[in-house]
Every structure is written in structure tokens, then in C-alpha cells.
Amino acid sequence: MGFRPEFVEALTLLATAIEQLAADGHSPPVLVGGAAVELYTGGQITSGDFDFVSSRQPEFFAELEKLGFERPNRAGWLTRSLWHPRLRFGVQVVSGSLMDGNADSERIRLVDVSAGPEEHGLTLRVIPVEDLIADRMAQALAGKPFRSDMQNQAVRLYELAEGIDSDYLDRRIRTETGGEASLETLAEWLKSCAR
């Protein structure tokens, strides 16, 4: 399957803006949400927008607007969103801090989206996969009824990831679910989501 070309092009544009932001001395935004799931599953789901955590939304959006992103003149359009008319995807800043400050920022995944194998320097910051799994598990359990879509995503993210830190993952699941679940719960879910 692999990543769709529009997704890779979008990542490249986003990383370009983020690199400029970092060069200006600002804390770089971190990719979260469905687009992070798309990234960590090799393009198995298709996200319509890119959610970021950033404490520097105005500066981030200013960089994106230089790259062709727009704030459409449309009733109901909100200040937290931009879109790219040609690539037809949106960008939202959903929060100012990653997982309300509960994620270990040292574990943020750096993904170099530069085109060639010898090229470097276009780096995207992505939520650690352990935190994304914990987030999906918390959403699954918070749903009334239980959300099987989020359960499935948590399981597949776990299965497809290399180098998971089990201790950290367990800790993050317990925190995000208010103690309702743990790594053991995820192991049970693995059995129920087996193909």
C-alpha cells in the first residue's frame, strides 16, 4: 500500500514550514491525531487533515500561508484551521501542549521527509507511538458505546510499530484511561482484533 503521493507532498510542505519555525527559534509543532495514525500505519487510513500541537499557532500559520495554505473566506470558518486548496487537505492546531503535558517530549519521533536518500533536513515531529496508542485506547473506552474504531487503531499501531517501550506504554495507557486500562488490556484487545 504505502503512502499516497498527496500525503507525502503534504508532509513535505508541513515540514518546510516547521523547519522555518524552528530556524526562527520557535518550538516546532508536533503532528498528532489521524494523520499520525496514517503515518504509523503506512497509509492504511486516509486522513483529511493534519492535527498539530503547537504553542506558536500564529507563527506556524504565517509560515504555512507563505507555502500556499489559506484561510478561506467562508462563514463558520474557525481561527484554528487552514487548508491547502490544491492538495485539498486541512491543518488544525488542536492544543498548545502534547497530551496535556503528560507525554515525554524526549520521545517525540523525528521523521525526515526529504525526498532523496542522501537528502536531509526536512524533519517532522510526530507524537510518540506509545502516546498515540494510549490516546486511542482512552478514546475507545470513553465512547458510549465503546469505540471499536479506536480499539482497532490502538491494536494495529501496536502491531505495526518497531521498538515499543512497554514500560512507558503501560504508564501512558494507565494515565490516559484514568487507570481503567493497562498494557494487559491492550494484550486482550490484540486477541479480539486478530485477523
Partner 1 sequence: MVEVMRTLKLRELEAAIERRKALLGLSGDDYVLPNSGEYRSPEKRELLRAIAEESARQGKRPAFPGKY
**Shortest approach of partner 1 to residue 112 CB, angstroms?**
5
Q: What residues form DSSP beta bridges with 124?
A: 111
By CB under 8 A, residue 108 contacts partner 1: yes
Question: What is the per-residue DSSP string for 109-130?
Answer: EEEE--SSTT----EEEE--HH
**Shortest approach of partner 1 to residue 110 CB, angstroms?**
4
Binding track over 36-75 against partner 1, x by CB under 8 A: -x-xxxx-xxxxxx----------------------x-x-
By CB under 8 A, residue 34 contacts partner 1: yes
By CB under 8 A, residue 178 contacts partner 1: no
By CB under 8 A, residue 160 contacts partner 1: yes
3-state per-residue secondary structure call for 7-55: HHHHHHHHHHHHHHHHHCCCCCCEEEHHHHHHHHCCCCCCCCEEEEECC
CA atoms of 7 and 154, how far apart (whole Å): 21
By CB under 8 A, residue 2 contacts partner 1: yes
Residue 130 has a CB neighbour count (10 Å cut-off) of 24
* Amino acid, res. 148: S
**Shortest approach of partner 1 to residue 57 CB, angstroms?**
14
**Shortest approach of partner 1 to residue 180 CB, angstroms?**
18
Single residue of 24, 65, 67, 88 touching partner 1 by CB under 8 A? 88
By CB under 8 A, residue 166 contacts partner 1: no
CA atoms of 190 and 136, how far apart (whole Å): 14
Strands 49-53 and 89-95: parallel
Long-range contact list for 61-65, CB < 8 A, 24+ apart? Answer: 61/93, 63/17, 63/18, 63/20, 63/21, 64/13, 64/14, 64/17, 64/91
Which range touches partner 1 (CB under 8 A), out of 18-26, 56-64, 150-158, 176-184? Answer: 150-158
Residues that bind partner 1 (CB under 8 A): 1-4, 6, 8, 11, 34, 37, 39-42, 44-49, 72, 74, 76-78, 80-81, 83, 85, 88-90, 92, 106-114, 117, 123, 139, 143, 147-150, 152-153, 156, 159-163, 165, 168, 195
